[in-house]
Amino acid sequence: MTLQAIPFTQVQIRDAFWAPRREANRRISLPLSLDKLAEAGNLRNLELAAAGATEGFVGPVFADSDVYKALEAVAYSLATDPDPELERRVDEIIAQIAAAQRPDGYLNTAYQVKIGLKRRWTNLRDNHELYCAGHLFEAAVAHFQATGKRTLLEVATKFADHIDSVFGDAPGERMGYPGHPEIELALVKLWRVTGERRYFDLARFFVVNRGRKFFADEHGTPHEEYRGEYWQDHLPIREHAAIVGHAVRAGYLYSAVVDVAAETGDAELLQMAERVWDNTTNRRMYVTGGIGSSAHNEGFTGDYDLPNLTAYQETCASVAMMMWNQRLNLITGDSKYADILELALYNGFLAGVSLDGRRYFYVNPLASEGGHHRQEWFGCACCPPNVTRTLASLGGYAYAASDRGLWVNLYIRGGARAQVGGQNVALDVMTEYPWDGKVQITVTPDAEAAFALHLRVPGWCEGASVRVNGLLVSDAPLEKGYFVLDRAWKPGDAVEMDLPMPVRRIGADPRVAEDRGCLALARGPLVYCVEDCDLDAPVAALALPAAAEFTAGPELLGGIVTLVGNGETGAEPEWRGGLYRTAAPLVPVAVTAVPYYAWDNRAPGGMRVWIPTIPPPPATRERGE
């Protein structure tokens, strides 16, 4: 990568926004996730595999991956917030995992206990062996980095070596790639932590072969009848132009694509990723930064098809968007990717978990008629540990560094420690972001040092300004969306950013039929929504006239800045009168909007992100002839 992310272990988060969420994550979500894995039988699967059992497996074929993701999440948390009890539970589970591993390194309880080892690697399309392996590798890297223990890393490398012996271009190795990408980016991490280049090469093998319609061959489907979109296997990887198929698979795949392009300098691969990104963000992404319109394929349909009530926008897909966009930001240094990262983080992703850390959304619609609520766990439990691992490692998304510079992508009170040009530099950040756009950064190198501090000017922000030591830097160059302060920094130099945060009224490209004639409210990085419990009229009947003014309003739910203004609703729920009549006057309605991420944390009811600027027509009842 051109830039390196500053590891989350070097980042402090001490704000009123994220710190409580991370606290709930650590105290509530993480222990609960381990409990749930025990309850749901995922851990029992490991015991059965260790015992050589051939029946009793429970859950989906990818049940192991939920265990690995939960371990990854706990490991991140242990790295910043040591917790002996959690660490003990992790060690226990790791021991179960190690016990379940086959002598040849193979490890997959679904195959070991249920499907049968003879059939391993025979259905890469559907059965998630490589996907589970990937999550094992990510967990192992996290655990090793957090604790220095090699227990899980050894399981991982043993399995990786086994996989490497099976797949590849060398004589005796075979073609294949995972139905659900994941192992590719995990192998890159495993390579980085072990220095074992074979792992990177295997990741590259899986990436560059994608699209050769391997799944058609695996299942005896004639190529001309094969529709590989669901698995992003429809076209040779270098020819991909639009984002298609299962959204999480796509996000993980293109993350790995950027990893491979960064290491190999493969410009064609990078161009493909940017092309697909253009398609994604200009045609197939929700205003909340999430992706995946359809429950049918848990993924994409067509350009501009972004239904709200039936939006899928899986929480995992928002995580995938963060991963992919961070990588694009690091390789290009362009803030437009960090903009999308921020958008997905604060909105599509963060809605995925309740404020108390106890309940999760798998599916994140942008409108609800009142029946959609977070749940404690899921039979397909991919989303909860994806939430917990992201919150636990959140700081890793905030800063980046190169030899000559530092980049601030997310504004979070706390700070970071980094090395720039051989100097240790501390950034101490004071801000009430995302509620307020004033950001004070104290720059403290060990000694005076020349480097460029890159401060992201969010794409949503107009009129950003920056001061150094109290003086307005009116000529600060704006490069790739960053204010660049390239100077000799002395300990204690004070930088002040001002990112004005008026309430924004957002419109959608008119080709998004669902949002035509509608507005969404936003402030700073947050997209807002309106819930029934804040209105005197059903949110389904609400309109926000184009001229409605909204301002930041009183706080709710312990510190959430609301937006208040006036809406309108139709005076009559039902059309009365003949074919034409004098239009009923509209009734003003006081409106309070809350951030989208915070919805469904109070009384259940309807919710909308996109609000029409005129009230929906009254209902009509069929009259007798």
Has 132 been annotated as catalytic? no
Rounded to a whole number of angstroms, the minimum distance from the CB of residue 321 to a second copy is 14
Please answer whether residues 593 and 546 qualify as being in contact, where contact means their C-beta atoms are separated by less than 8 angstroms. no
Least Å distance between CB 224 and a second copy?
A: 24
| Identity of the residue, 554 or 580, whose beta carbon is nearer to a second copy in the bound complex | 580
Residue 519 touching a second copy (CB under 8 A): yes
Per CB under 8 A, does 365 bind a second copy? no
Paired tokens of 297: 């394929």
Q: Which of 72, 298, 314, 342 is catalytic?
A: 298
What is the smallest separation between the CB atom of 618 and a second copy, expressed in angstroms? 6
Instruction: Determine if residue 340 is left, alpha or beta; phi over 0 gives left, psi from -120 to 50 gives alpha, anything else beta.
Output: alpha
Q: Is 268 a catalytic residue?
A: no
Q: What is the dihedral of CA 21, 26, 28, 29, to 10 degrees?
A: 80
Binding of residue 520 to a second copy (CB under 8 A): yes
Of 267, 447, 471, 583, the residue at the interface with a second copy (CB under 8 A) is 583
Q: Interface with a second copy includes 511 (CB under 8 A)?
A: yes
Asked if 571 touches a second copy (CB under 8 A), the answer is no
**Does 236 participate in binding a second copy (rule CB under 8 A)?**
no
Q: Does 614 bind a second copy (CB under 8 A)?
A: yes
Taking CB under 8 A as the binding criterion, the range among 19-27, 294-302, 437-445, 574-582 that sits at the site for a second copy is 574-582
Can you tell me whether residue 243 is helix, strand or coil?
coil
Residues 6+ apart with CB under 8 A from 533: 602, 603, 605
3-state DSSP assignment of residue 476: coil
Min separation Cβ 582 and a second copy, Å: 5
- Identify which of residues 220 and 617 has a Cβ nearer to a second copy in the complex: 617
- CB of residue 610 to a second copy, shortest distance in Å: 10
Q: Which residues contact 23 (CB under 8 A, 6 or more apart)?
A: none
Q: Is 547 in the site for a second copy (CB under 8 A)?
A: yes
Contacts of 64 (CB under 8 A, 6+ apart): 42, 45, 46, 107, 108, 109, 110, 132, 135, 136
Q: Is residue 488 within 8 Å of 578, Cβ to Cβ?
A: no
Q: Interacting stretch for a second copy, rule CB under 8 A, among 46-54, 87-95, 277-285, 590-598? A: 277-285
Report the amino acid identity of residue 11: V
37 interacts with a second copy by CB under 8 A: no
- Tell which one of 352, 525, 545, 606 touches a second copy (CB under 8 A): 545
Residue selected from 31, 56, 421, 507 as contacting a second copy according to rule CB under 8 A: 507
If one asks whether residue 447 binds a second copy (CB under 8 A), the answer comes out as no
347 binds a second copy (CB under 8 A): no
Cβ partners under 8 Å of residue 624, min gap 6: none
Per rule CB under 8 A, is residue 617 in the interface with a second copy?
yes
Please give the helix or strand (H or E) that residue 100 lies within, else none: helix 84-100
Contacting range for a second copy; rule: CB under 8 A; set: 383-391, 442-450, 492-500, 543-551: 543-551
Out of 4, 586, 602, 604, point to the residue binding a second copy (CB under 8 A). Answer: 586
Closest CA to 347 of 599, 104, 559: 599
Q: Is 366 among the residues that bind a second copy (CB under 8 A)?
A: no
Beta bridge partners of 45: none
- Stretch touching a second copy by CB under 8 A, among 363-371, 476-484, 545-553, 600-608: 545-553
Which of the 8 DSSP states describes residue 400?
Answer: E
Q: Measured between alpha carbons, how far apart are the two ends of the chain, in Å? A: 71
Q: How far is the CB of 505 from a second copy (least distance, A)?
A: 5
Neighbours of 555 (CB within 10 A): 11
3-state secondary structure of 613: coil
Residue 257 or 272: the one with the smaller Cβ distance to a second copy is: 272
- State CA 227 to chain mean position distance: 27
Tokens 């799944």 label which residue? Answer: 215
Question: Which one among 104, 126, 268, 278 touches a second copy, defined by CB under 8 A?
Answer: 278
Give the binding-site size for a second copy (rule: CB under 8 A): 45
Q: How far apart are alpha carbons 427 and 408 in whole angstroms?
A: 10
Determine, following the binding rule CB under 8 A, whether residue 505 of this chain makes contact with a second copy. Answer: yes
Identify the H or E element spanning 69.
helix 63-80
Q: Which residue has the tokens 């639009």?
A: 242
Determine if 517 is a binding residue for a second copy (CB under 8 A).
yes
Query: Which residue's CB is nearer to a second copy, number 398 or number 526?
Result: 526
**Looking at 132, 382, 383, 461, which residue is catalytic?**
382
Q: Longest C-alpha distance within the chain, in Å?
A: 88
Least Cα distance to 248 among 389, 362, 378 occurs for 362
Please give the positions annotated as active site. Answer: 298, 382
Would you tell me which residues interact with a second copy (CB under 8 A)? 241-242, 275, 278-279, 281-283, 285, 287, 460, 504-512, 516-517, 519-520, 545-547, 568, 575, 578-584, 586, 613-614, 617-620, 623, 625
